[in-house]
Amino acid sequence: MISLTWQWLIDPATWTGPGGIIAQSITHLRISVVALVLAALVAVPVGLFIGHTGRGRWLAINLAGAFRAIPSLGVLFVATLLLLPRLSGDLAFELPVVLVLVLLAVPPVLSGTYAGVEAVDPAARDAARGVGMTETQILWQVEFPAALPLLISGLRSAMLQIIATATIAAIVGIGGLGRYLIDGQASRQYEVMAGGAIVVALLALLVDLVMAGVQRIVVSPGLVVAKEH
């Protein structure tokens, strides 16, 4: 089994062409990034608002917990059955999936952003107010940069969830690396399933590493020093 999987993985034909690993990885990444960006566009401003004003805290605290209980596979099927007959063209398969991915990604990004702003040292906020910063300046120049570590942690866990769910979503017909897992099972080729599973696990790991690298670069070194002391 292991050698068959290995042979499948090192075969150049597996990697190239329209259904190859490279093309499917790009599709997988494209869907995942679109979903993450859309989720961040919704969740980051709301999280900043909740963190800055303290209004709607129960939403940020309970939303993540409640959403974790909802099985993503079930929601994926519901969205597809509801939306697919009403859509046409290339987007018909992808739109319900992206919608579900955004829905799953909003809670972790929201609670990460909110927790990040709330964890800002009150002394830093007071000092900013003391030197005459407006509320908007405090939000963007003090709270936002200081919230980045937890905000990006939220984005990272959201992205892992998106990549995993986008894999499962191959069952409703979209492209991406999940195709190997689902099609390999349909054609009873375990080496295709296992090879695809290895590639998607590596992709998830790689994306998480890249995001960890971005986190290192954008988080102010002052915050890292402050944490170590």
Binding residues for another protein (CB under 8 A): 1-2, 5, 65, 68-75, 77-78, 80-81, 160, 163-164, 167-168, 171-172, 178, 181-182, 185, 190, 193-194, 196-198, 200-201, 204-205, 208
Nearer CB in complex with another protein: 57/68: 68
- The single residue listed with the structure tokens 């955004």 is 102
Q: Which is nearer to another protein, 164 or 223 (CB)?
A: 164
**Rounded Cα gap, residues 213 and 206, in angstroms:** 10
* Least distance to another protein, CB of residue 141, Å: 32
- Using the minimum distance from each CB to another protein, give the nearer residue, 125 or 179: 179
Q: To the nearest whole angstrom, how small is the minimum distance from the Cβ of residue 78 to another protein? A: 6
* Residue of 88, 102, 119 lying closest to 43 (CA atoms): 102
Query: Minimal distance in Å, beta carbon 75 to another protein?
Result: 7
Residues 70, 128: Cα–Cα separation, whole Å: 41
The span from the CA of 147 to the CA of 38, in Å, is 20
How far apart are the C-alpha atoms of 27 and 23, rounded to whole Å?
Answer: 6
By beta-carbon proximity to another protein, the closer residue of 124 and 168 is 168
Q: Min. distance of Cβ 81 from another protein in angstroms?
A: 6
Q: 69 or 123, CB closer to another protein?
A: 69
| CB-CB neighbours of 31 under 10 Å | 21
How crowded is residue 14: how many other Cβ atoms within 10 Å of its Cβ? 20
Taking the least distance from each CB to another protein, the nearer of 142 and 196 is 196
Neighbours of 23 (CB within 10 A): 15
> Cβ of residue 51: shortest distance to another protein, in angstroms?
21
Q: How far apart are CA 127 and CA 141, in angstroms?
A: 12
CB 160 to another protein: min, Å: 6
149 Cβ neighbours under 8 A, 6+ residues apart: 116, 215, 219, 223
